Structure 1
Amino acid sequence: MKKAIGFLLSGVLILAAALAAEGIFGKKESVVVAEEMPSVYLKQADASSSEEPIPVLGSYQQLKKLMKEYEKKQVIRDGYAVAEKASAPVMAPAASSPQMEAGTTAKTVADQASFSSTNVQVQGVDEADVVKTDGTYLYQATQEEIRIIRAYPADRMELVSRITYDEQRFSPQEIYVDEKRLVVIGHSQPEMVRDSAVKSKRFAPIPSPMMVQALIYDISEKSTPRLTRTLEAAGYYVSSRKIGSSLYLVTNKGLDWYAINNQAEEVPGPLYRDTAQSADYRSVPYSTIRYFPEAIQPQYLIVAGANLDDPKQAISVHTYLGAGENIYASQDHLYVAVTQDTAIEAKPASSSHLPRKPESLPVAEYETQLFRFALKNGTLAYAGKGAVPGRMLNQFSIDEHNKFLRIATTTGEMWRTDEGTSKNNLYVLDSELKLSGKLEGIAPGEKIYSVRFMGDRAYMVTFKQVDPLFVIDVKDPSSPKILGALKIPGYSDYLHPYDENHVIGFGKDAVADKDMAFYQGMKLALFDVSDVSNPVEKFQTIIGDRGTDSELLGNHKALLFSKEKELLAFPVRVHELTPKQKAARDIHAYGEFAFQGAYVYKLNQQEGFVLRGSITHLDPDDLKKAGHDWYDSRKNVERIVYIGDTLYTLSREKVKANDLGTLAERGTLRLSK
């Protein structure tokens, strides 16, 4: 699901800061070459400098001063929260178009000889997920517990152990697994903490904050996992990465606005803890908190790193007055992307309560600010910043290749028909995050639905009524250019490499109706880009009807793919039209719930998508109870993995093992207490 972020005022949930920025879009379709578009406005820092070119707060009084200035600049004008200095709307833009209701590297992660791994963006950079496997055991995170399941061989499946958190005020989110350890990341809210760094009240209890915890377990004995270390940082979880034994966490934490404005005593900085160093919580001193003068917000961005192999190495913590949205990591760098407003066309306040025409609304301009950190053995070092116009879609909008950073953005709004209409762009930044090349003005009136960088090429899908797939040459960093484009019905939310000349698209089919388009069933497509000037849709298949959806469309980690095994599988919820609905040919009609589980395909270049079968955890009684709709259930299949010759599907209720070749069921393990 595509999400929205706004710049928050007092009382707004800070969790929104972790959500990806996006606007309301609509109209026209064409390509405008870079020379016809305005030049990029780029802020830059000397990444080679030994000093961090970002000012420090220095003191609590300076924080209060900056927050007072921020608060004074916020005014409400015609329903918009707008800065008096003429900045963009502070309110979060809508996440979908009124016309449309739906919302790396060249190589994929190498297939393990004996078991599958999480589908990640960059080879060698692991991403946390709700299910992991080491080739013998399955590790599963639910909101209540962690399960360790002996999965192989399939006829001996058993639940070996549970790690529960009933009385610990901790909710697991995602996990990592390696040969030595299990890392559980989640939110906690301790009843009370003691901050040993607050000098005025040493070891004084302070109100319970929301914390992000990383719990590190020794799993040499699977039946008795042993907690060896706890890492904590204040705020809400944005994302994380694990490279070898190095763990990196990113959180957003809102300022205690009321306490800062009304409390006489100093409010401590954000808390963190590493139990390998001390059992006490510590607050980040204001002398080390930095801020971005052009992007002050009432929240903190915290980036932390730790070497899990060396508990004597102190946790590396960097804190900024700001917020992070999207995270991208290569093996050398971590990038935090933040959407920032830059300008707005001021309009006099209207005394009328009637809706204003789109052309009379303020013209908002956004830029994506990029903050780079060098990574080494669990430590982070600030390594520069840059900015490009527009908003990113998600982490796949960024890619680092041969020391250059490529980023795709959308400017403007789809629903506008004037100069403020949406346009799509690709920028290339050099090793110092200075502009090297650009391609602007792609598909005016549309927005980006998916991007994938594969070596010297980039693939971009935009959409309003049809799905243009653009093939872009980024081999020359100074001159990216469009090589070819393909227009087909529907759109792709996620693009996945098949090989160097083929890309798989996952999205929705769509039917145009005048100047609007309505999504239908889920669409899979295999694009052949051997002839870059003439890309073709070699194969495609449609699953279900309007209402059909899959977690894969918003979370790439839900995909299981192996080119060598000709295997493609993912969870899906299928809705199908009734015979009466089909006869009516109403493109607006939603189908009725028909299935939830895994679809398993054979995929090759000769036959395309061949549905081998489906696996569900629902019983016949569940289907009877479902009615027209089916919402969240403990029996919903969430992930599919393989170990050896066995395919495993996991829901919160059970694990099913099926023969990888025939899909014949080999066993079921119930997980409910």
Structure 2
Amino acid sequence: MKRFWYMLGLLSVFTIAITINNMNKPPKQSIAMAQEQGLPQVQSLPVIGSVEKLRSILETVESSRVYMGEGVVTGAIARDNITNSGAVKSADPAPATSSVPLGGNTDFSATNIQVTGVDEADIIKNDGKYIYQVNNQELIITQADPSDQMKIVQRISFKESEFSPRELFVDDQHLILIGNAGYQEVLPANPAIDQSTEEQSKSMIYPPIAHKSTVKAIIYDLADKSNLTKIREVELDGDYISSRKIGSTLYLMANKYLNTYQIMNQGLEPSLPSYRDTLSNEEFVSIDYPNIHYFPNFIEPNYLLIASLNLDQKDQEMKVSSYLGSGQNIYASTSNLYVAVTQYERIEEPSPLPQAVPNSSVAPAIGQIHPSSFDSATALYRFSLDQDGAEFKAQGNVPGTILNQFSMDEYNGHFRIATTKGQIWGSEENTSKNNVYILDQTLQLLGKIEDIAPGERIYSIRFMGDRGYMVTFKNVDPFFVLDLKDPVAPKILGALKIPGYSDYLHPYDENHIIGFGKETVELSQTNDQGILPGTPRGSNAYYLGMKLAVFDVTDVSNPVEMFKTTIGDRGTDSEVLHNHKALLFNKDTGLLSFPVTLMEVKNPVTNPSVPQYGTFSFQGAYVYHFDLNSGFTLRGKISHLEQTDLLKAGQQYYGSKSIERILYIKNTLYTVSKGVIKANDLASLQEKNRLILNP
């Protein structure tokens, strides 16, 4: 019975009750139709123009929402009744990116990024002498080299009510600190809504107050590390999506949410998106309706703001563009920015739920319950990037939803994207299937591989030049090698099925990929306990400890697992499984390191029905040497925890001594937590020094 209610709960999450007017056709049909008719998909975006037009658009949005259980997915496909106007913009040629930093700087390490030349913000950076760290509500700068003279040279504290730092960029001249700020603002009532005298009196005494959240970047001059000079602040209305830094240009992206219910039903005046650049104005500047564009085929009640700032042009104001829409996942090459947003569309009415039998305690069989059938798709927007900012160039969509930024890639002027469509517990047409699509610069379809690994979903994907590598999972880990050389006719070259899965794939060279994930074991169901009538018996996969694997794809038709090692028992985790920036890797020296939270089974049970969870026993850095001759060699482990910390830990450890990043400067390996920076000799791993950050 518990199993039934669990599955019923899962189904209810994905049950859709929507009312959609003037809907698009399913994404696959839309792409195919555009190709068959030879229609261009790239046109200049219309502008909102006025508050009346915005209300008209938002009314369509409100009637087009997708409701899943008790939650709301605002990414419903909605069609505005205004047709695009304007000439088709020509596609900008894009260079062959998809390049991956395989080695490292010989003097000091850098953040593990997706695309060479496109820097990503992180909580810790270094420049070969200093370590820059976002540490709770502080920015801490530590002189790290020489290691025997480690000391804090600057710490800047921020009031949590005013600014919360999140991550940073560092170059030769600047430190850019990015975080969230908050303000209280009085909201104007809509004069078009009739109010009684009593209501007007109350609104005068108790005006509506709203919290305004912003994304703030503080730019410092790094000339004097011990006394940073603040050059300027820039700020975007909304919540932080992501950022990139290409050369001297910083790109910031934010979402500002619009409460359609309050606007449409409670008379709230729609707010305009705004920004601030202290170079020209200490106050926020609103972007008016004639300067806000929208995506006609996909509207979401958000303003997407994209800002660019050339740090070398000290007298140049930040450039900001605003779009009625949204951004969820970001991919950037050196010349283009791609924004991806999930969208849903119901394609048929659901079957009615079976009626409960009076005075019966028997629940309906799970096979009798039919969730609503819907299509998922990913809306895509391309913006060209240069010193003049980000300019919209194209929009399109593909079936299915993406996993993360590594699901997207640009190479030789083509855009590649991997998606999962359907649900892993779905049946027939609704079962999950995985796909790869190749689009041109106008985001029109060129080639595709569909229906990969039915019943599974993508756990990791990596594009490398003419190839792609995909890991899907349900019970076993199929590792697929994809040939993407011909964008019109991509194909699967080979596949390998092994236990476990990879959450992150990192290139070693053109023929070898390192996978970071979990080991698994597949167990058969041996009794009827928890099995509902009509439910087939089968097997379940249970994850175990962490797994490192190397895939050899020299023979593309026959990939093999060349090396493998595991860490800990069930429950063992690492930030590198969720955040690629936590990985330190240098191919030239064979250095491979990442933080690990180790869980170990202390008192194993004989023949357990399911694998046991381990208990906490270690948190710190695992340091390996890796090469293609000997595989993974564990050189040592470094922790900031003392014995007293372990005694306090219990089942898990959460504290200021959890190692977050590992880096090196010259011949020293540094491990950094919020409480400590420890320096170890890179060759012997012997401790050389430690610096207490927060006594």
Q: TM-score range by the shorter chain?
A: 0.7 to 0.9
Distance 2:141 2:670 in 1: 14
Aligned partner (choices 652, 659, 662) of residue 640 of structure 1? 662
Once residues 551 and 371 of structure 2 are traced to their aligned partners in structure 1, the CA distance between those partners, rounded to angstroms, is: 39
Residues 656, 668 of structure 1: 8 Å contact kept? yes
Alpha-carbon distance between aligned partners in 1 of 2:164 and 2:33, rounded to the nearest angstrom: 39
8 Å contact from structure 2 (residues 343, 376) kept in 1: yes
In the alignment, what sits opposite 1:602? 625
Q: Is the 8 A contact 1:43 1:387 kept in 2?
A: no
Q: 3-state SS of the aligned residue for 1:210?
A: strand
Q: Deviations over 1:498-554 (max 9, x none)?
A: 011100000000011233111000000011111111111010000000000001001
Gaps of 5+ in 1: 1-22, 25-37, 88-103, 196-203
Tell me the equivalent position of 1:187.
Answer: 180
1:154 aligns with 147
Question: 1:659 Cα shift?
Answer: 0.4
The 3 A distance-change label for structure 1 pair 52 and 163 is farther
Unaligned runs of 5+ in 2: 1-12, 15-27, 79-96, 189-206, 357-362, 525-538
- Separation in structure 2 between the aligned mates of residue 106 and residue 310 of structure 1, nearest angstrom: 28
Which residue of the partner structure matches residue 590 of structure 2?
Answer: 566
Number of equivalent positions: 612
1:263 Cα offset (Å): 6.6
Q: CA deviation at 1:341?
A: 1.2
CA contact (8 A) 1:106 1:500 kept: no
Q: Distance in 2 between matches of 1:267 and 1:75?
A: 22
- SS in structure 1 at match of 2:57: helix
Deviations 1:73-119 (A, max 9, x none): 45869768699x998xxxxxxxxxxxxxxxx6353255112000000
Alignment of 1:524 with 2:548, yes or no, is yes
Distance of aligned partners of 1:587 and 1:603 in 2 relative to their CA distance in 1, 3 Å threshold: farther
Q: 2:387 aligns with which of 354, 377, 388?
A: 377
* Paired AA for residue 149 in structure 1: T
- Indicate the SS of the match to 2:313: coil
Deviates more, 1:620-629 or 1:535-544: 620-629
Indicate whether 1:664 and 2:686 are aligned: yes
Cα pair distance change 1:592/1:259, threshold 3 Å: same
* Range 388-397 or range 268-277, more displaced: 268-277
| SS of structure 1 residue aligned to 2:425 | coil
Q: 1:628 aligns with which of 647, 651, 666?
A: 651
Q: Please show how residues 477-492 of structure 1 align to structure 2 within 5 Å.
A: 477-492=487-502
- Give 1 or 2 for the bigger CA radius of gyration: 2
Cα distance change on mapping 1:625 and 1:573 into 2, 3 Å = same
Shift in CA distance, 395/238, structure 1 to aligned 2, threshold 3 Å:
same
2:484 aligns with 474
**Per the alignment, in what secondary structure is the counterpart of residue 212 of structure 2?**
coil
The one of 119, 127, 133 equivalent to 1:134 is 127
- Aligned-partner SS, 1:108: coil
In the aligned structure 1, how far is the partner of 2:677 from the partner of 2:492? 46
8 Å CA contact 1:340–1:369 kept in 2: the answer is: yes
Task: Please say which of residues 413-422 and 327-336 is displaced more in the overlay.
Answer: 413-422
Q: Equivalents in 2 of 1:626, 1:584: separation in Å?
A: 28
Take 1:595 and 1:388, find their aligned partners in 2: how far apart are those partners?
A: 43
Whole-Å Cα distance in 2 between the matches of residues 427 and 237 of structure 1?
28
Deviation at 1:633, TM superposition (A): 1.1
How many Å separate the matches in 2 of 1:43 and 1:236? 36
Aligned-pair distance for 1:574? Answer: 0.5
Q: Residues of 1 paired with 2:355 and 2:645: CA distance?
A: 52
Cα distance 1:358–1:40, how it changes in 2: closer, same or farther (>3 A)? Answer: farther
**1:190-209 → structure 2 map (5 Å cutoff):** 190-191=183-184, 207-209=210-212
> Is residue 2:417 matched to residue 1:407?
yes
The code of the aligned residue for 2:603 comes to: P
- Cα displacement (A) at 1:326: 0.6
| CA distance 1:357–1:303, change in 2 (3 Å) | farther
> Given that residues 187 and 268 in structure 2 are in contact (C-alpha distance below 8 angstroms), is that contact kept between their aligned partners in structure 1?
no
Aligned to 1:11: none
Change (3 A) 1:82 1:329: closer
Please name the residue that 1:343 is paired with. Answer: 346
1:149-548 aligned within 5 A: 149-166=142-159, 169-191=162-184, 207-257=210-260, 260-261=263-264, 266-347=269-350, 350=353, 357=367, 360-377=370-387, 379-514=389-524, 515-548=539-572
Structure 2: distance between partners of 1:369 and 1:72? 19
Displacement, 1:191?
4.9
Partner of 1:35: none
1:554 aligns with 2:547: no
CA drift at 1:629: 2.4
| Cα distance in 1 between the residues matched to 2:432 and 2:101 | 32
Say if 1:351 and 1:143 are closer, same or farther in 2 by CA, change over 3 A.
farther
TM-score norm. by structure 1 comes to 0.86
Q: How does 1:585-600 map to 2 (within 5 A)?
A: 585-600=608-623
1:44, 1:433 within 8 Å by CA — same for their partners in 2? no
Q: Deviation per CA, 1:149-175: give whole Å up to 9, x if none.
A: 000010000000001112761001100
SS of aligned partner of 1:623: helix
Determine if the alignment matches structure 1 residue 578 to structure 2 residue 602: yes
Q: Bigger CA drift: 113-122 or 586-595?
A: 586-595
Q: Name which of structure 1's ranges 221-230 and 127-136 shifts more when overlaid on structure 2.
A: 221-230
Give, in whole Å, the separation in 2 of the partners of 1:77 and 1:325.
Answer: 19
Name the CA shift for 1:86/1:644 in 2 (closer, same or farther; >3 Å): closer
CA offset digits 1:171-230 (Å, max 9, x no partner) = 0110000000100000001356999xxxxxxxx998541000011001110111111111
Q: How many angstroms apart in 1 are the aligned matches of 2:598 and 2:315?
A: 51
Q: Matched residue of 1:419: which SS?
A: helix
Q: Which moved more, 1:387-396 or 1:71-80?
A: 71-80
Q: Please name the residue that 2:527 is paired with.
A: none
Q: What's the C-alpha RMSD, in Å, of the aligned pairs?
A: 2.9
Instruction: Give deviations 1:546-602, integer Å, cap 9, x for gaps.
Output: 000001001000000001111000001000012333x44454311010100000000
Alpha-carbon distance change, 212 to 44 in structure 1, aligned in 2, over 3 angstroms? farther
- The residue type equivalent to 1:554 in the other structure is H
For residue 53 of structure 1, what is the aligned residue in structure 2?
44
- Structure 1: distance between partners of 2:603 and 2:184: 56
- How far apart in 1 are the matches of 2:482 and 2:353? 44
State whether residues 109 and 119 of structure 1, in contact with CA within 8 Å, keep that contact through their aligned partners in structure 2: no
Q: Helix, strand or coil: the match of 2:306?
A: strand
Structure 2 match to 1:67 = 58
**Which is further off, 107-116 or 121-130?**
107-116
One-letter amino acid matched to 1:337: A
Provide, for residues 32-56 of structure 1, a one-character-per-residue CA deviation record: whole Å limited to 9, x for no partner: xxxxxx87836979xx999952222
Cα separation, 1, equivalents of 2:109 and 2:69: 53
| 1:518 alignment partner AA | Y
Q: Deviations over 1:226-246 (max 9, x none)?
A: 111111111111110000110
For residues 277-310 of structure 1, the C-alpha deviation after alignment (integer angstroms, 9 at most, x for no partner) is 2111011111121222332222221111111111
Distance in 2, Cα, partners of 1:365 & 1:322: 20
CA distance in 2, matches of 1:233, 1:80: 27
The aligned counterpart of 1:616 is 639
TM-score (norm 2): 0.83
Residues 513, 381 of structure 1: alpha-carbon distance in 2 compared, 3 angstrom cutoff? same
8 Å contact from structure 2 (residues 350, 373) kept in 1: no
Q: Following the alignment from structure 2 to structure 1, what is the Cα–Cα distance between the partners of residues 414 and 232?
A: 36
TM-superposed CA distance for 1:398, in Å, is 0.6
Q: Which has the higher contact order (CA 8 A, sep 6+)?
A: 1
SS in 1 for 2:429: coil
The amino acid that maps onto 1:626 is A
Determine if contact 1:576/1:594 at 8 Å carries over to the other structure.
Answer: yes
